[in-house]
Structure 1
Amino acid sequence: MVMHPDHVVVPVDVVKALLAEQFPAWAELPIRAVASYGTVNSVFRIGDRLVGRFPLEPGEVEQKVRWLESEAAAARELFGRTRFPTPEPIALGRPGHGYPLPWSVQSWVPGTVATEADPADSPDFATDLAEFVTGLRAIDTGGRTFGGSGRGGELTSHDRWMETCFAHSGELLDVRRLRRMWAQLRTAPRLDRPDVMSHGDLMPGNVLVTAGRLAGVIDVGGFGPADPALDLVGAWHLLDAHPRRVFRERLGCDDLEWERGRGWAFVQSMGLVWYYAESNRTMATIGRRTLNRLVTG
């Protein structure tokens, strides 16, 4: 499915050709596309233990290389630091055979994405998720702070993006009500404590489930320092009311931290509904469900 302007399509035969040329040791492994609702990469299994990730949006090659190197460094820093599996970076590939961008290879993490194995009503999953977030927060930032782009700094820095979302959502959502909600959420003051290490994108497509428990977490390239409330987005993206309370109690969130978490979930969800309304209806549905949870408490 095409989701972005100039969306780059990646055929499986191109993946095979790139592997044969750049990583011949893997050339004979079976290659198969992974059905995914992700919006950043096309994903391919390489044998049983590896996965290739091919960016979908075009860009300047050297800039993309730096981005992939940064993702790999983040994944390497997180790998093995909690009891929950995360991907290990293995290699970076070059453009070729009609594919215009660099790409990456990681270890495959077993489990079923939460879009397919919904853990929303599982207190056990909520307990696992709280343990994962606690484990991230325990990793030393090394004096680093939030880098200044995307989610994780100040909620008010997203005012312009929210206006864009409201303008595109008039026929999709109750924009008047959501504007009132944002006016309240955006004013939640920043916590009086330093940034902590965060996953940054705890959505259903990035969380793996086995038998109702957290089996692993993927798409870890954004791992880094951020507002301590940022990873609370998982409370609304992933959990119904009772497990959400379990998650909050396990983390010991006060009212201020919880409100800022609601704000970050709101910022992310508003963009999902209108941007992916036709191109990725699973993502749009996730956005709607999260907004409904935020509205109903």
Structure 2
Amino acid sequence: MTSGQTHPDPLRVDGRLVRRLLAGRFPQWSQLPVERFPSGGTVNAMYRLGDDMVVRLPLVEGGAGDVRAEREWLPRLSPLLPTAVPEVLGTSEPAAGYPWPWSVYRWLPGELPEAGALTEPALLAGDLAGFVRAMRAVTLRGAPAAYRGGPLATLDEATRAAIEELRGLPEEGVDCDALIAVWEDALRAPEWAGPPVWLHADLMPGNLLVTDGRLSSVIDFGCMGVGDPACDLFPAWNLLPAGARELFREALDVDEATWRRGRARALSQAVIALPDHRDTNPAMAGNARHVVRAVLAETR
């Protein structure tokens, strides 16, 4: 998935490249079926490898750092979390004309949840809160700073610019003045005064897997690190309906200032993603529209 940041043109990869890479680094797996797995993400390509594995290759240079971070931290985080996370089975450095490190992971079963189509929203809200609580309780030292985990004001320029870009897209039907009001209200909220906490920092629907309506896995930890706990409140607006949203908040005992910052962070991610992806990534643009609607409905 992605955090809503704008990326340069992605590298082109295909099944033939994946097979060359596997033959050079993991010949024991090179004869298994390889099939591109459709994804709404913009940072990595995913190729199903046989029945039980997946190859993950960065499409942009920034994704290479995500691969290295997952290699370092996922084995240490996994035993501390209540939900399955990606397990790295093999790693490789650049080879065969491919410029960045890449990895093979164990395949995690499940389906991507869809806002408005959840079968167990209240139970899913509890599962998500349990995952966020467990992340916050991690005490591993040496963590990187989470992507967009710093003060809300660091997002001000990009967020305002994105809202103004949306103002120039009247067909989107966005009340940009109302969005500015929500954003400015959050900027007036007190910043997080406690120590930085561990965060996934990209809890988008595309990074969650559900089975029978319940959270079964959380994937794509490329943005993880420590920062403002408001960063992991995204599912309140990008996935959960109003009633389950309140359950999520109660389970995490979120104070008013943190809730306002979390809502604004979700909004920032959405308004930056929507103009960038409205013509190229229907899933991401659709979720961004959902966030905008959810935020405005909650604040009116």
Using the size of structure 2 for normalisation, the TM-score is 0.89
SS at match of 2:254: coil
Whole-Å separation in 1 of the counterparts to 2:179 and 2:20:
48
Q: Which amino acid aligns with 2:109?
A: P
| Structure 2 partner of 1:110 | 109
Residue equivalent to 1:84:
83
Paired letter, 1:11: D
Instruction: Quote the Cα distance in structure 1 between the aligned partners of 2:147 and 2:65.
Output: 17
Residue 153 of structure 1: SS of its match in structure 2? coil
Q: Displacement of 1:154 after TM fit? A: 0.4
Q: Who is 2:158 aligned against?
A: 161
Quick one: distance in 2 between partners of 1:260 and 1:74?
27
Task: Report the secondary structure of 2:131's partner residue.
Answer: helix
Aligned-partner Cα distance in 1 for 2:163–2:80: 39
Which residue of 2 is the match for residue 42 of structure 1? 45
SS in 2 for 1:221: coil
User: Displacement of 1:235 after TM fit?
Assistant: 1.0
Q: 1:193 to 1:141 in 2, by over 3 A?
A: farther
- Mapping of residues 165-184 of structure 1, within 5 Å: 165-170=162-167, 171=169, 172=172, 173-184=174-185
2:206 counterpart of 1:196: no
Tell me by how many angstroms 1:49 deviates: 2.1
Amino acid at match of 2:28: A
Aligned mate of 1:150, from 128, 142, 147: 147
Partner of 1:251: 252
Aligned to 2:121: 122
Q: Report how far residue 201 of structure 1 moved.
A: 0.5
Single out whichever of 71-80 and 266-275 deviates more from structure 2.
71-80
Distance between the aligned counterparts of 1:283 and 1:120, measured in 2?
21
Shift of 1:31: 1.0
CA RMSD of aligned residues (A): 2.2
CA shift for structure 1 position 65: 5.0
Unaligned runs of 5+ in 2: 1-5
Q: Which residue of 2 aligns with 1:16?
A: 19
Give 1:116 shift: 8.8
Q: Which one-letter code corresponds to 2:148 in the other structure?
A: R
TM-score by length of 1: 0.90
What's the CA shift for 1:91?
2.5
Q: Which residue in 2 is equivalent to 1:138?
A: 137
Structure 1 residues 11 and 228, CA, compared in 2 at 3 Å: closer, same or farther? Answer: same
1:74 and 1:222 in contact (8 A); partners too: no
Between 118-127 and 279-288, the greater mean CA deviation after superposition: 118-127
> In the alignment, which residue of structure 2 is the partner of 1:99?
98
**Stretch of structure 1 that moved more, 234-243 or 77-86:** 77-86
Report the AA paired with residue 53 of structure 1.
R
CA separation in 1, counterparts of 2:12 and 2:160? Answer: 31
Q: Secondary structure at the match of 1:229?
A: helix
Query: For residues 42 and 168 of structure 1, what CA distance do their matches in structure 2 show?
Result: 29
* Cα drift, residue 121 of structure 1: 6.0
User: Is the Cα contact below 8 Å between 2:43 and 2:63 reproduced in 1?
Assistant: no
Give the C-alpha shift of residue 4 in structure 1: 5.0
Structure 1 equivalent of residue 33 of structure 2? 30
Number of positions where the alignment pairs a residue of Structure 1 with one of Structure 2: 289
How far apart in 2 are the matches of 1:151 and 1:118? 29
Distance in 1, Cα, partners of 2:255 & 2:140: 22
Whether 1:51 and 2:54 are equivalent positions in the alignment is yes
Q: Taking structure 1 as reference, are residues 39 and 110 closer, same or farther at Cα in structure 2, changes over 3 Å only? A: same
Does the residue aligned with 2:80 lie in a helix, a strand or coil?
A: coil
| Residue 125 to residue 232, structure 1, CA distance change in 2 (3 Å) | same
Q: Distance in 1 between matches of 2:274 and 2:119?
A: 20
Change in CA separation of 1:48 and 1:145 when aligned onto 2, cut-off 3 Å: closer
Deviations 1:202-234 (CA, angstroms, capped at 9, x unpaired): 110000011111111000233221111110111
Aligned partner letter, 2:25: Q
* Secondary structure in structure 2 of the residue aligned to 1:113: coil
Tell me, which stretches of 5 or more residues in structure 1 are unaligned? none
Give the corresponding residue for 1:187.
Answer: 188
**1:14-72 residue CA offsets vs partner (Å, 9 max, x unmatched):** 11111011111111211111111112101011122221111112x3xxx8655422232
Please give the per-residue CA displacement for 1:239-297, whole angstroms capped at 9, x wherever unaligned: 01000111111111121221111121111111111110111011011011011111111
CA distance in 1, matches of 2:65, 2:121: 39
